[in-house]
Amino acid sequence: MDFNRFHPDPETYRGYHVFAVDGSTVNMARDPDSPCFVCNASNPKGYCQTHINPLYDVLNKTYYDCVVQPQPNMDEIGALVWMLNAHRFPDKTLIVMDRGYEGYNMIAHLMLKPNVDFLLRVKDGAGAMREVAKLPMIPLDRDLSMTITTTQTKHDKENGNIFLPVPKKSYKQNPKTRPARWDFPSPYPLKFRVVRFMLDTGKYETLVTSLPRSITPDELKELYHARWGIETSFRQLKYNIGLVNLHSKSVNSVWQEIYGALTMFNFCSRIARGAVVQKKATNVHEYTVNMKMAMALCRDYFRNPEGDGERLLLEIAKYTEPVRPNRADARNLRPKSFPGFTYRVAA
Domain limits, the chain = 2-235, 245-346
The fraction of the chain above a pLDDT of 90, given in percent, is 71
For 149-206, the pLDDT digits (tens) are 999 999 999 888 999 988 766 555 555 556 678 999 999 999 999 999 998 888 999 9
Band the pLDDT of 80: cuts 50, 70, 90. Answer: very high
H or E stretch at 315: helix 309-318
Helix (H, G, I), strand (E, B) or coil at 54: strand
Between 2.60.60, 3.90.350, 1.10.10, 1.10.4160, what CATH number should domain 2-235 receive?
A: 3.90.350
The highest-confidence range among 1-10, 29-38, 120-129, by mean pLDDT, is 29-38
Spatial distance between the Cα atoms of 188 and 161, rounded to a whole number of angstroms: 10
Contact 287, 24 (CB under 8 A): no
Nearest to 60 by CA among 292, 274, 299: 274
Spatial distance between the Cα atoms of 275 and 273, rounded to a whole number of angstroms: 6
DSSP string for 2-25 = HHHHHS-----BTTBEEEEE--EE
Spatial distance between the Cα atoms of 151 and 164, rounded to a whole number of angstroms: 8
The fraction of the chain above a pLDDT of 70, given in percent, is 91
Rg (CA), the chain: 23
Helix (H, G, I), strand (E, B) or coil at 190: strand
Helix (H, G, I), strand (E, B) or coil at 149: strand
pTM value is: 0.90
Band the pLDDT of 335: cuts 50, 70, 90. Answer: low
| Among 3-17, 31-45, 71-85, 278-292, the least confident range | 278-292
Q: Which position has the higher pLDDT, 278 or 39?
A: 39
The highest-confidence range among 32-36, 42-46, 343-347, by mean pLDDT, is 32-36
Q: For residue 277, what pLDDT is reported?
A: 85
Spatial distance between the Cα atoms of 316 and 338, rounded to a whole number of angstroms: 31
Sequence-ordered list of residues with C-beta below 8 angstroms from that of 307, at least 6 positions apart, any chain: 300, 301
Contact 104, 79 (CB under 8 A): no
| Among 59-73, 236-250, 275-289, the least confident range | 275-289
Residue 87 confidence (pLDDT) above 90? yes
Q: For residue 1, what pLDDT is reported?
A: 62
